[in-house]
Amino acid sequence: MKIAIAGGTGFIGRVLQEKLVKEGHEIYVLTRNPGKIKTTNSIRAVGWLKEYSSPEKELQGIEAIVNLAGESINGRWTKEKKRKIISSRMKVTGEIIRILEKMEQKPQVLVNASAVGYYGMSETACFTEESTPHADDFLASVARKWEAEAGRAAKKGVRTVFTRFGVVLGHDGALPLMVLPYKWGIGGTIGSGRQWLSWIHVEDVAGIIHHAIQTKALEGPLNATAPHPARMKKFGKTVASVLHRPHWLPVPEFALKIVLGEMSDMLLGGQQVLPKKAVETGYSFQYPELMPALKSILNGS
């Protein structure tokens, strides 16, 4: 298949590119700086989001689009940071919709990133794609707006999937910061330790996106989380075990709020999210359990 990726040079995008190329697909990376992309027989750079760029001319015949682009949620959520988180997602997704409108032959599917933040925070609830929460926090608001914008593709006859990512574990992303205290020998439980962490290995993120592209029965929300979420205390103890470091110094809620501000709510609240649709449609996880997932990333650290 010919597959276009927005956000293809990011943490998830690089892993996805590698997987799709191994599967024999042709990749078109949508980028503001085509000259920085290392092109091959399987990877081509397509300029976009510039005044004179017309990516739709180079994307005729594309069979799938994957949208991973957007400002990282990592960092302190100042008013400006929050504005960038929302506006970047709306701008990129709006441009994808414009491209679809211009294409004579539209792609079969749009796989658009989203997040489990859609469901809001809970220590007791268990969320699947069938859940209809009414959360009003910042992350839930971002996810709703992002999915609504991407959902315009479905009205144009393009099968649309919203991959709601959990905390993605890999050599980049959130995990390096989460394990740093353990490497310093001062790791411990964050907050109460009872909050859920719905995690997923980055290789399974790439696998689920590929699964969504190929599985015509999939549309709408698709949880990209491992089938066995963990309480934060268990997560910390597992990290300590893998790194052969102690798990002893708790991180109190007030300290985390001082350091991270509103972003701390994401770590202190948490949610238990299960990948019901992925499992029901036959996706086989490479890393369904936390310990092997962490070992694959952290061994040798």
What average pLDDT does the segment 74-87 reach? 94
What is the per-residue DSSP string for 96-128?
HHHHHHH-SS--SEEEEEEEGGGG---SS-EE-
For 234-277, how does the pLDDT look when each residue is reduced to its tens digit (9 = 90+)?
999 999 999 999 999 998 898 888 888 888 888 899 999 999 99
Rounded to two decimals, the pTM is 0.96
Which tokens in the block code for residue 180? 């740093």
Architecture of domain 2-169+198-225+272-285: 3-Layer(aba) Sandwich (3.40)
Q: pLDDT band at residue 58, thresholds of 50, 70 and 90?
A: very high
Give one word for 24, left, alpha or beta, with left for phi > 0 and alpha for psi -120 to 50: left
What average pLDDT does the segment 47-60 reach? 92
Residue 130 CB partners (closer than 8 Å, separation 6+): 276
Give one word for 54, left, alpha or beta, with left for phi > 0 and alpha for psi -120 to 50: beta
Crossing angle, helix 11-22 and helix 202-214, to 10 degrees? 60
Q: What gap in Å lies between CA 123 and CA 296, rounded to an integer? A: 28
Closest CA to 227 of 275, 270, 189: 275
Rounded alpha-carbon distances, angstroms, from residue 28 to 5, 35, 107, 176, 288: 6, 14, 13, 29, 30
Q: Are 157 and 106 in contact (CB under 8 A)?
A: yes
What average pLDDT does the segment 46-75 reach? 94
The yes-or-no verdict on residue 301 having pLDDT over 70 is no
Percentage of residues of the chain with pLDDT beyond 70? 99
The yes-or-no verdict on residue 300 having pLDDT over 70 is no
Task: Could you list the beta-strand ranges (E) of the chain.
Answer: 2-6, 26-31, 43-47, 64-67, 109-115, 126-127, 159-165, 167-169, 196-197, 199-201, 220-224, 230-231, 272-273
The yes-or-no verdict on residue 112 having pLDDT over 90 is yes
Strand duo 196-197 + 230-231: pairing = antiparallel
Triad 131, 110, 121: Cα angle to 5°: 30
For 15-32, how does the pLDDT look when each residue is reduced to its tens digit (9 = 90+)?
999 999 999 999 999 999
